[in-house]
A and B are shown apart, each in its own frame.
Chain A
């Protein structure tokens, strides 16, 4: 995540000649494309008009006020308040983060340290959710959960999000694990630590940055997830993206833009924390 920022800074020191100018122009254009939707959304959230014309005819804070009102005194027409959706989102994101990390740390250790049959297959399977169409995955999970003899509500969202976040968390933990030599672990054993104690005392602390990066990524992925969640939510358990979507399907309500700005701010804060915690080059998406 730090790389676009970094490359921007680096581009500020001009490259010589035509190539430099071309490279700068191109990266500027691509960056603009990347932030344009977010920028237009932020602009729209300050619209003073009651329609969706872009750019807005006037500017005001009316949609923020409306959003605040929805938040403090939910409309009776709303099936579910934003407060409840936000609580669900945070709960699901936190649980997904914890479970994904609990699975990913031992998995990363095994993938780096151990040689076993089917290691290549395990690695492939691990990244399957990355290439699998989300819609198919959502449908598949829905089929499975509906055929279970018992009902799951929040936990089925957690399970789905863990599956989605796992490749990223494992990737970050594996990268951290790769930089840890065998010798520190053996040194701990020679000093009297059992193999498990050596992992807890030495390997895990040294993996810290990778684990933290993975945890935050898992949180962000779960917090933003829409497609798979759309198949699995029900009327009582809804995450923020689903709640926002449900408000826009019938009639596009500009308050959604103010909520979106709020979510973007949360994401930015998390990514900023991620970079602070991990430093440069530590995170791989």
Chain B
């Protein structure tokens, strides 16, 4: 099988488990994002792929070849570290040429490749600058150029954008994504920022509680979270308890019932959890309860200008609805309101 395959990969530190039971197939040429809260084991997993950590168990194969025990310097993977780890005693050009020098590339070819890469990252005039004299974004680009200089088989990015300010981070996200597509290099990006994962990744691997929670495209993960952990971690969502009533209906704690797409295998009487995204809730002035329309009272309004977040107490649960200013109907705290929850927007979560 081509691409990178992880099979039953595990890492323990003494009795503490960092990550366990990882089975992944990362296809060639894709940008894969390891997304998870801090301490979920995503960086450990990346470092095992890089060869900077040993495996406690399992196998890592690249294009069918077992590389789980190959030392890092023989894997030919490019890596950009969180601190970037540029060599402060070398110039921009020397940093980028370093992997070429190690591979015994002759001086002329080194220079050609360096200027090609500098052109790619648009820093041609910085060749002889010491890296300390660069701005944050420029350093970032140099780190990426250095990582891809020796045409690695895999590019690993360990939260490389976390040190940048918000605006620069967003433009770098686009830049990295475009570069990755242009070079068609298989890339793994580790991040705890779900927006970053959503905007950059072909495939998102959600990690939590030391194991893989879900693998899918960003939209799949957002729309169809596999479990409550993913639903809670990705985006903001209304997650509330409910009880299956049978015939595609669920009961809320306050007694109201909703029509939802629910799996036949869930028996009536089973406790479940429901997910509804705030942007799917429709608010209207009070009108008769019907279908999936419930009555509620506004408990909080947060108007950030671009969007309005309205929190509503409704049949024993607290729901947050997101609307645009033009959809606003002038609700204040205490206003009675009707909430329509479209059946197709509801997700039933097990556990």
Contact = CB atoms under 8 A, between A and B. Distances in A.
Interface of A: 181, 183-184, 186-195, 197-198, 201-202, 205-206, 208
Contacts of B81: 183, 186-187
A206 B88 contact: yes
Closest 9 A/B residue pairs (Cβ): A187-B85, A191-B99, A183-B85, A192-B102, A190-B79, A183-B81, A189-B72, A205-B89, A189-B73
A191 B98 contact: yes
28 contacts: A181-B85, A183-B82, A184-B85, A184-B87, A186-B52, A186-B72, A186-B79, A188-B87, A189-B73, A190-B52, A190-B72, A190-B156, A191-B73, A191-B78, A191-B98, A191-B146, A191-B147, A192-B74, A192-B150, A193-B102, A194-B71, A197-B73, A197-B102, A201-B98, A205-B89, A206-B87, A206-B88, A208-B89
Interface residues on B, range: 20 to 34
A191 B102 contact: yes
Interface in B312-345: none
Contacts of B182: none
Nearest to B102: A192
Contacts of A195: 71, 73
Given A192-B73, A192-B103, A206 B150 contact: no
B73 A194 contact: yes
Contact of A186 (B78, B85, B150): B85
A16 to B, nearest CB: 37
Contacts of A184: 85-87
Contacts of B147: 190-191
Contacts of B34: none
A192 B76 contact: yes
Interface string B147-163: 10110000010000000
Contact of B89 (A186, A197, A206): A206
A202 B98 CA distance: 11
A198 B102 CA distance: 10
Contact of A190 (B78, B82, B83, B88): B78
Interface string B117-159: 0000000000000000000000000000011011000001000
B130 to A, nearest CB: 13
B113 to A, nearest CB: 13
Given A183-B82, A184-B85, A191 B52 contact: no
B50 to A, nearest CB: 6
A187 B73 contact: no
A202 B78 CA distance: 17
A226 B73 CA distance: 49
A187 to B, nearest CB: 4
Contacts of A186: 52, 72, 79, 81, 85
Given A183-B83, A189-B52, 4 more contacts: A184-B87, A186-B85, A190-B72, A190-B78
A184 B89 CA distance: 11
B244 to A, nearest CB: 50
B84 to A, nearest CB: 8
